[in-house]
Amino acid sequence: MKFFTEVEIPDCPWKIDYQSGVMMMGSCFTENIGQKLADLKFNIDLNPFGILYNPVSLANSLRRLMQPRQFIASDLFFDQGSWNSFSHHSRFSGSDRDQVLNTINRQLEQSSLFLKSTRLLVITFGTAWVYEWIQNGQVVANCHKIPAKEFRRYRLTIDEIAKEYNELHTELLKFNPNIKMVFTVSPIRHWKDGAIENQLSKATLLLSINQLIKRPGKDLCYYFPSYEILMDELRDYRFYASDMLHLSDVAADYIYSRFSKIMISEDSLKLSGDVAKIHKAAMHRPFNPTAEEYRKFLLYNLRQIDQLTENFPFLNFKIEKSHFRDEMTRFAAE
């Protein structure tokens, strides 16, 4: 007997593997999945503009990567002791203008090259609501706590989003003929919009993606149902964080498991299991760091790293190896 409804996921014709790059852009749900892939040593470029929620800002960011004109001082604004960019998440903000620009432009250059060669682009839409800065008509990626009266807020239509991404898809294929696109909708609720408006927003995103991938010639696009998995498989508040809006760790792990089985190649999925053991071991904090068992634990994992990197030279365990060696040095000193 089944105690939940299972979402059927069609097979994806393109797979993530350790030999190819994956760019992931979008909402904080993207961060959840992308960070798991990064921890497992996949070649990931994760949110080069920071977390983005609406389709227009995501499209603008991708076009900027295809035409990587550097950001200049006039692209920033100063507010409450911080330099900010309306094209970026606040993690790029800072008190030193030149440092902010250097960080933004260095990431822009790196991610433009990555997009040029990557095989897979994963885009997660968060909301169909956008904020347009009244001063110049720019749809902003982040309001940076500027008063709401400075913006015009409206919801994108299905046709607007579908048209935008139909054109964007054509531009991307000219920039990188080998690129494939995977769309998903974040299951995280935007409660500030209100319950009804949040549902209308999600419905708009879902219908726009459906319109896009069903169009003739759009067989290079795929939809992964992360929203449906949370709504129809998990649908219980125990799968939410304490704010009852974001995903719990258990829910994020479950959706990642569904994602990995569909999106990652069989060989890479098997290898990622071995990588996960190393990552988990590096996160371990011993009850007694002076015990002989801990020394053996450190040595065992260093040998595992050596064995994996000998068989798979593309794996980079620099951080984990440094951690285990530092722990060995500390152990010897005590």
How far apart are the C-alpha atoms of 122 and 181, rounded to whole Å? 6
| 88 pLDDT higher than 70 | yes
| 72 pLDDT higher than 70 | yes
Neighbours of 312 (CB within 10 A): 13
What pTM value is reported for the model? 0.93
State the pLDDT confidence band at 334, using cuts at 50, 70 and 90: low
Token couple for 275: 């990588």
Report how many domains make up the chain: 2
State the pLDDT confidence band at 218, using cuts at 50, 70 and 90: low
**pLDDT value of position 27:** 92
292 lies in the same domain as 210: no
Q: Are 166 and 207 in contact (CB under 8 A)?
A: no
Domain containing residue 91: CATH number = 3.40.50.1110
State the pLDDT confidence band at 80, using cuts at 50, 70 and 90: very high
| 333 pLDDT higher than 80 | no
State the pLDDT confidence band at 287, using cuts at 50, 70 and 90: confident
Average pLDDT over residues 210-228: 87
Dihedral of the alpha carbons of 305, 310, 315, 316, in degrees to the nearest 10: 60
How far apart are the C-alpha atoms of 279 and 264, rounded to whole Å? 18
| 3 pLDDT higher than 80 | no
How far apart are the C-alpha atoms of 185 and 188, rounded to whole Å? 9
Token couple for 94: 């800072």
Q: Are 131 and 152 in contact (CB under 8 A)?
A: yes
Mean pLDDT, rounded, of the chain: 94
276 lies in the same domain as 243: no
Asked which of 82-86, 100-104, 186-190 is least confident by mean pLDDT, the reply is 186-190
How many residues appear in the chain? 334
- 66 inside domain: yes
Backbone φ/ψ region at 244: left (φ over 0), alpha (ψ -120 to 50), beta? left
**pLDDT value of position 217:** 65
**pLDDT value of position 61:** 99
Which of 212, 244, 264 lies at the terminal end of a domain, its last residue? 264
Q: What is the pLDDT of residues 289-328, one digit of tens each?
A: 888 899 999 999 999 999 999 999 999 999 999 999 999 8
Q: What is the pLDDT of residues 175-208, one digit of tens each?
A: 999 999 999 999 998 888 889 999 999 999 999 9
- 274 inside domain: yes
236 lies in the same domain as 214: yes
Collapsed DSSP state (helix, strand, coil) of residue 95: coil
Expressed as residue numbers, the domain containing 317 is: 266-334
Q: What is the pLDDT of residues 18-63, one digit of tens each?
A: 999 999 999 988 999 999 999 999 999 999 999 999 999 999 999 9
- 15 inside domain: no
Which of 264, 298, 315 lies at the terminal end of a domain, its last residue? 264
| 331 pLDDT higher than 90 | no
